[in-house]
Amino acid sequence: MGDRYSDGVSSLGPQTMETLRKAKILVVGAGGIGCEVLKNLVLLGCERIVTVDLDTIDVSNLNRQLLFRREHVGQAKAVVAREVVARLNPRACVEAHHANIKDSKFSVSWFGEFEVAANALDNVDARRHVNRMCLAAGVPLVEAGTTGYLGQVFVIKKGETACYECFPKPSRVAYPICTIRSTPDKPVHCVVWAKELFKLMFGGGGESMLYEDAAVEKSAYAGLAAEAAATRSPAIIARLLVALFETDVAKQIEAGTYKTAKTTPKPLVGLRVGTPPSRAASDWDRREWTVEECAGELSLSIQDARINEFDKDDPAAMSFVAAAANLRCANFGIERQTLYAAKGIAGNIIPAIATTNAVVAGLQVSEIVKVLTSQKPSYTYCLRDPTRKGYLLQPTALDEPQPGCYACRSGSVTVALNTETTKLETFVKKFVVGNLNFVKPALDLGESGIYDEEDDRLSENLGSSLSDLPAGGIKDGAIVKATDFSTDLDLTIVVKHLPDLDDQQYPEGFRILSDQQGPSEPKKRSLRSDDDDDVGKKAPEVEEEEDDVEILEEPPPTKKRPKDDDVVLLLEEPPPTKKPRL
């Protein structure tokens, strides 16, 4: 080691530096947090890094993703990030995959090669996937997320700390149809309604919440909406606006919809289609449009809209939603929104800034070092305002795995066998029943059932060898979900293909590679009542927007601020010969 690592050696100690250099580290995501993590790892002296990212670079990334420049827009994030960080240290070997982490090539055994993985992702789905893969492969995972000024970092270690799925995520709010269709009382209800109207007109109407079977019920606008979308004729559009914002509202009042409601809407009588707000004005999207302007804007955007799903970045679609939502707000006496605000609601945009990402990425690297040097990891909150005691970054103890967690608590077991010669019947009888002590097993491969004692239709699979089974077969790296209905136990079985298993040593035809949860004593899942206090406390947040998902009631709820009393300073005072570490 030359001068390059001298600072690290003096502060962290030579053994730690050596460990860092040799460790194989996975960084999933090369976006806001990922860029920072990659840079930090390389500059810390880590030499074996692999990054995976599906995305290409977008202009809106440039305000915080420091590895990317304008000329990179459109290129693969992982590839550009690799090029830039590899230059920081000639000894560093950085491998990039422009791919979906859910791709089957990233199998459990592929994950198993890493000493530690870091999640720098922008969506719950991929996070869950990596969580399960790391649990299955026994790789510690350092999870991180930010929203605006808030962030958190925590470590998932199988069997020791709570996993990503131990606490339910804040669920996306689905609004009751009647609120959207008849009784909105918040701007977001009107925005959702406008998106549904867009879907009805331009996105294949059948799925729209506003769609109704003409034979059953007839609104004042359904026919006109279809006609306006088809003809784009300003005259028809004008009639549609009257139908939407006057006639239909009046009709609903008459039908007694609002008899017992607190609020009665007001039909927009004599709605004038004004001039659309001028786009030349600098405050075009920041100013509240008048009702007449909204009508003008809506008319114009109906003429321009493309037949497509709603996309907040499609100008005509977004204008449509903002204008229609505002007219509906006017009906119901709800405060109107600027286009800018409506876009935030409709696109579920989560603010993101360079500084929070940098703090979180720095903490994530600290936790990676702790994991690699076997120190006790922590769960750290990054707060906007200091706590009563002045803490801005607050380390707290990690939770234990939650007894009810299906992802981690039911455990997993890795078994090696010859998938080409082993029959399903042998697998079930000798392994699942004989070894794992399952009483009434059912096995699923992906979404497909392959065996269920109580389902005769599946019994024909028993004679097939594992690799020939439906749903792709049980091949090397396959994950089989085993459920025991009698003990209510779920278990993940990872299968490795081992063609030359020594049948003298393993006469039963399989070899168990890991068995950490002790599935030989199946436990009943305990009810959650004991842990209810913690439920929902620590759901990680997403870093970036997810388009076209059900709209959140509000940005992901800020977590219950940890109480000051929760502060636990985790590092034991190191013995004098031992170095403190990051």
- Counting residues that bind other proteins (by CB under 8 A) gives 91
Q: CB nearer to other proteins: give 10 or 516.
A: 10
354 annotated as belonging to a binding site for a ligand: no
Q: Which of 262, 278, 507, 532 binds other proteins (CB under 8 A)?
A: 262
> Buried (b) or exposed (e) across 347-364, using 16+ Cβ within 10 A?
bbbbebeeebbbbbbbbb
How far apart (Å, rounded) are the C-alpha atoms in residues 270 and 252? 18
Task: Count CB neighbours of 14 within 10 A.
Answer: 13
Q: At closest approach, how far in Å is the CB of 6 from other proteins?
A: 7
What Rg value do the Cα atoms of the chain yield, rounded? Answer: 28
Residue 15 binds to other proteins (criterion: CB under 8 A): no
- Does position 263 interact with other proteins (CB under 8 A)? The reply is yes
By CB under 8 A, which span of 114-122, 146-154, 212-220, 297-305 interacts with other proteins?
A: 146-154
Angstrom CA distances, 18 to 22, 45, 159, 167, 364, stand at 6, 9, 27, 36, 19
Residue closer to other proteins by CB (options 395, 401) is 395
Q: Is 178 a catalytic residue?
A: yes
Choose which of 245, 332, 438, 510 interacts with other proteins (CB under 8 A): 332
Q: Which of residues 181-240 bind other proteins (CB under 8 A)?
A: 185-186
- The DSSP bridge partners found for residue 444 are 449, 481
Q: How far is the CB of 169 from other proteins (least distance, A)?
A: 22
What does the angle CA 473 – CA 476 – CA 477 come to, to the nearest 5 degrees?
Answer: 100
Q: Which is nearer to other proteins, 223 or 574 (CB)?
A: 574
Scanning residues 106 to 125, which ones bind other proteins (CB under 8 A)?
A: none
CB atoms inside a 10 Å sphere around CB 62: 14
Question: Footprint of other proteins on residues 444-483 (CB under 8 A)?
Answer: none
Q: How far is CA 25 from CA 28, 94, 112, 289, in A?
A: 10, 10, 11, 51
State which of residues 356, 422, 467, 492 lies at the interface with other proteins (CB under 8 A): 356
In DSSP terms, which residues pair with 511 in a beta bridge?
416
Q: What letter represents residue 363's amino acid?
A: L
The position carrying tokens 């590839």 is: 79
User: Is 62 part of any known ligand binding site?
Assistant: yes
Q: Between residues 92 and 494, which has the closer beta carbon with respect to other proteins?
A: 92
Question: Residue 368: in which H helix or E strand, if any?
Answer: helix 354-372
To other proteins, the closest distance from the beta carbon of 371 in angstroms equals: 13
Nearer to other proteins, 108 or 365 (CB): 365
Q: Which residue, 482 or 542, has its beta carbon nearer to other proteins?
A: 542
361 binds other proteins (CB under 8 A): yes
Please report, as residue ranges, which positions from 36 to 75 form the binding site for other proteins (by CB under 8 A): 36, 39-40, 43-45, 58-64, 66, 69-70, 73
Closest to other proteins by CB, 313 or 550: 313
**Reduced to 3 states, what is the DSSP secondary structure of residue 307?**
coil
Task: Write out the two tokens for 480.
Answer: 């089989």
Give SS3 for 81: helix
* Annotated binding-site residue? 122: yes
List the x/- string, 68-107, binding to other proteins by CB under 8 A.
-xx--x-------------xxxx-----------------
Q: Which of 93, 255, 392, 549 binds other proteins (CB under 8 A)?
A: 392
Question: What letter represents residue 361's amino acid?
Answer: A
Interface with other proteins in residues 557-576 (CB under 8 A): 564, 567-573, 576
Strands ordered across the beta sheet of 489-497: 448-452, 441-445, 478-484, 489-497, 412-417, 510-515
Secondary structure, 3-state, 166-181: CCCCCCCCCCCHHHHH
Does 8 engage in binding with other proteins (CB under 8 A)? Answer: yes
Binding mask 148-177 for other proteins (x = CB under 8 A): xx---x------------------------
Distance (Å, rounded) from C-alpha 575 to C-alpha 556?
42
Whichever of 256 and 576 has its CB closer to other proteins, that residue is 576
Q: Which two tokens stand for residue 161?
A: 């700390």
Q: Which of residues 336-355 bind other proteins (CB under 8 A)?
A: 344, 349-355
32 assigned to a ligand binding site: yes
Does residue 580 belong to the site contacting other proteins (CB under 8 A)? yes
CA dist., res. 323 & res. 301, Å (int): 9
Segment lying near other proteins (by CB under 8 A), choices 96-104, 158-166, 358-366, 430-438: 358-366
Q: Is 579 in the site for other proteins (CB under 8 A)?
A: yes
Stretch 268-307 residues interacting with other proteins (CB under 8 A): 286
> Which candidate in 46, 178, 190, 382 is catalytic?
178
User: Can residue 443 be called a binding residue for other proteins (CB under 8 A)?
Assistant: no
For residues 157 and 377, the answer to whether their CB atoms sit within 8 Å is: yes
174 marked as part of a ligand binding site: no
Q: Determine whether 137 is exposed, middle or buried from the number of CB atoms within 10 Å of its CB (0-12, 13-18, 19+).
A: buried
Q: Using the structure block, give the residue that is written with the tokens 């876009």.
A: 343
Annotated binding residues: 29-34, 53, 61-64, 77, 122-127, 163, 166, 405, 408
Q: Which residues are catalytic?
A: 178
Annotated binding residues for Zn(2+): 163, 166, 405, 408
